[in-house]
Amino acid sequence: MRRLFFEVELLSDTVLPVNAATEGPRQCLSYIPGSVMLGVAAARMYSSSDVDPFMLFHSGKVRFLPAYPIGADRGHSLPVPLSYHHEKDWKDSELKKVALPKEPTAEFRNFAMGGSLNRPKNLEGKFFTANGLLFDPEKVMSLKTAIDPSTGRVDESKLFAYEALRAGTKFLARIHLDDDVPTTVDQALVDELTGGVVSLGRSRSAEFGRANISQVDRVQDWPESGYNDGLLIYAYSDLALYEPESGAPTLEPKPEHFGLDMEVDWDRTFIRTRRYSTINAKRKKPDLERQVVCAGSVIAFKGNGAGMDPASMRASMERGVGAYLAEGLGQVMVQPGFLEQELPFFPERPDEDELEGAAEPPRDELVTWLEDRVKLNRKKEHAWDLANEWLANIKGHVNKSGGPSKSAWSFVAQAAATAKDGKTLVQELLESGRKDGKALLRKGVRQEPWKVKHKGATLVDRLEKLVGNGVKNRPDIVLAAVQILARQAIKELSPKGQ
């Protein structure tokens, strides 16, 4: 069997609903289902004459596994086994929160290997890496309203919310191919999946679901353990099982589903189930309801296994069990190493200060525009602060009679709006050292209101000093500050009746 590995990075928030319901709360999955990855490939390759679409998408010879999130330690993750439990009020002594322990502790147990707790609580819904990092991907809520197509306005009583995976989250996707699949299919899949931005999930035509896919090197397999008085099978993905005799769906795992001559050990088995219906976009209709055993379930068997060893069992289940294998269902791990201990511990668990920071925001036009808006708003705030500082400095001048009128301040605002830069504004409007004596506020009848004095200095001299210092210290905001000063002066300082 051949394997391909890909990293999926979300460029925008992505909605992957738990079910296809259109009413009620819309919860989002914490991973990318294999059916979504299959759909991306099918949209680009189904009509291609170079590959057989039935072999690629329907035969089960090519399997698109679910893409699980990549941890902050860059490790690929799995759903936490449902057999992992901790005491209800227990917290890791080092991290002061629930975490996978670095050392064995009686308050954190793998019930598939026995033991008990007074008030057990499991870690459902979380993921963990081989190093022992426990996490769940970050999600965001978006409140939306439907638009009435006949009016183009908001449709009454149609407010709804989406839960979505946050942009910047990364996932590891896998594709398994049987040996009899032509090797040319491998490169065709790589070329199509990595050939530009893809769309995932719901509301793809709006703001959601943009992602980038890149091929990565083969990742290291999870550790395995040997056969030890029974067998533990971990559900890597959801399992869609059917009764061997009738073909009816069942939520009760049986040895026949796994090709075993053993007996289910229900005391050490921990499963969770769910039911859902997928929407077939081609037919625009829902497919048959699926009743599945959830990923992360642990199924225990007892007996000698008719002499079978874990290696041969793994080989027999390599392609998966049950139905919908092409969409990544039915994948299992036989006797994984993380289930072999009653008191599991992860000595290589990274410290929080060793982890990567928050995911970098995606670099697209919208993000660039938003960052520019933030910078502009900060400049405006600084300009207002500078203008208010100047205003406090000149109140003593213009509160006297004979100060500038509203029209005089409007002239200053217009000059600042059209000036090339702050230095040019000072030269043309205020500078006292000009040899030609043509500074606009220092000549003719226009200079009279600006000559009003306070504490021995004229208003125009004080403005020249303040604005000049602004040119030296904050040239990027000085023009905006002068305009704000002039507008505030019109409102607060102009003599009444002028």
pLDDT tier for residue 298 given thresholds of 50, 70 and 90: very high
Residues 6+ apart with CB under 8 A from 99: 92, 132, 134, 349
Token digits of residue 194: 């990595």
Same domain, 188 and 301: yes
Q: Within a domain: residue 334? A: yes
Query: What is the DSSP track for 193-217?
Result: HTSS-EE-SB-TTTT--EEEEEEEP
Same domain, 370 and 358: no
> Cα 100–104–108 angle (5° rounding)?
55
Cα distances from 452 to residues 127, 213, 403, 416, in angstroms, run 73, 69, 6, 22
- Number of residues assigned to the chain: 498
DSSP SS3 for 6: strand
pLDDT, the chain, mean: 84
Amino acid at position 276, single letter: Y
Q: Quick check: 365 pLDDT over 60?
A: yes
Same domain, 301 and 418: no
Q: Within a domain: residue 94? A: yes
Domain boundary among 363, 392, 414: 363
What's the order of all strands across the beta sheet hosting 120-122? 108-110, 84-87, 120-122
CB atoms within 10 A of CB 102: 17
Same domain, 318 and 402: no
Give the largest CA-CA distance in the chain.
111
Same domain, 453 and 483: yes
What is the rounded CA–CA span in Å between residue 134 and residue 346?
11
CB 398 within 8 A of CB 449: no
For position 358, what pLDDT does the model report? 43
> What percentage of the chain reaches a pLDDT higher than 70?
90
pTM of the prediction?
A: 0.68
Q: Could you report the per-residue pLDDT of 167-195, keeping only the tens digit for each?
A: 999 999 999 999 999 999 999 999 999 98
List for the chain the helix, strand, coil content (%; round to 5). Answer: 30, 25, 45
CB 321 within 8 A of CB 239: yes
Q: Quick check: 243 pLDDT over 60?
A: yes
Q: Within a domain: residue 498? A: no
Structural domain of 90: 2-363
Same domain, 172 and 291: yes
Work out how many domains the chain is built from and give that number: 2
Domain boundary among 363, 384, 400: 363
Cα distances from 7 to residues 27, 171, 175, 193, 194, in angstroms, run 24, 6, 12, 11, 10
Same domain, 127 and 103: yes
Cβ-in-10-Å burial (0-12, 13-18, 19+) of 130 comes to: buried
For position 497, what pLDDT does the model report? 43
Domain boundary among 363, 395, 412: 363
Q: Within a domain: residue 450? A: yes
Same domain, 131 and 271: yes
Same domain, 143 and 229: yes
Same domain, 91 and 215: yes
Same domain, 389 and 272: no
Same domain, 377 and 316: no
Q: Could you report the per-residue pLDDT of 64-110, keeping only the tens digit for each?
A: 999 999 988 888 999 999 999 999 888 887 878 888 998 999 999 99
Cα 114 off chain centre by = 37
Query: What is the DSSP track for 336-405?
Result: BGGGS-SS---TTPPPGGGS--SPPPP-SHHHHHHHHHHHHHHHHHHHHHHHHHHHHHHHHHHTSTT---
β-bridge partners, 64:
175
Q: Could you report the per-residue pLDDT of 405-449, keeping only the tens digit for each?
A: 888 888 888 888 888 888 888 888 787 766 666 778 887 777 778
